[in-house]
Amino acid sequence: MTTTPTREPTSAVVPAHTLIPMVGTPAAVVPSATANSGGIGGAVIGTLLSATILAAMIAAAVNIMLARRKSREEERARLRDRFAQAYGAYAEYCEFAYAVRRRRHDDRPAERVRISEELRKVQAMLSAHEAWVKLESETVGKVYAKLLQEMRKIAGGAMRQAWTDKPVTSDAAVNIPPETVDLSPLKPFEAAYMEAVAAHLRALAPWWSR
């Protein structure tokens, strides 16, 4: 009988490095320089674009405001000039109370024609100005109409009296005293017109300039 020899169990040879437990330490993921710079650059570009757009919007708003202000100032200047022209026509009518007295005494028929024609032109201007002022402002129009009404009563009355009086024949007589032609009663109506025009123009002024 053959006896098989008993072998001792052979332990497997394990490499030394496998016996040391591998403890994994989390490694910090550091973004690359390219990615990092790209993020910062994008933020900077976005900020710059936002600032540029905001600046453009502000500039546009300022330009619009300035354009509107210029347009309104030009409109007020135009109205101021028209109101002044209306007053100028009134003042020109009042001057005829003196002009009639200073007419030439050596050619009365020609002087009647000349002065009457000039007065006709002024009357036409007054009618046009009165219509325009009423269309522009009902308030100012009423005041201007009252001014013209008193003008025809006071200055017109002095003019009618001048036609019946003899024209001046000397240089000294050209100086017409207030006792002869007194237009001072028109002063309150002139002041009322000026105040009405000023109030109308103030209402058209921009709120920041009032």
Total residues found in the chain within this entry: 210
At 63, the pLDDT band (50, 70, 90 cuts) reads low
Confidence check: pLDDT of 43 > 50 = yes
Q: What percentage of residues in the chain have a pLDDT greater than 90? A: 55
Token output for 134: 């009423």
Cα distance between residue 112 and residue 121, in whole Å: 14
At 17, the pLDDT band (50, 70, 90 cuts) reads very low
Per residue in 114-138, pLDDT tens? 999 999 999 999 999 999 999 999 9
Cα distance between residue 124 and residue 89, in whole Å: 10
Per residue in 66-115, pLDDT tens? 555 556 688 889 999 999 999 999 999 999 999 999 999 999 999 999 99
User: Distance between alpha carbon 183 and the CA centroid of its chain, in Å?
Assistant: 37
By 3-state DSSP, what share of the chain in percent is helix, strand and coil, each rounded to 5? 75, 0, 25
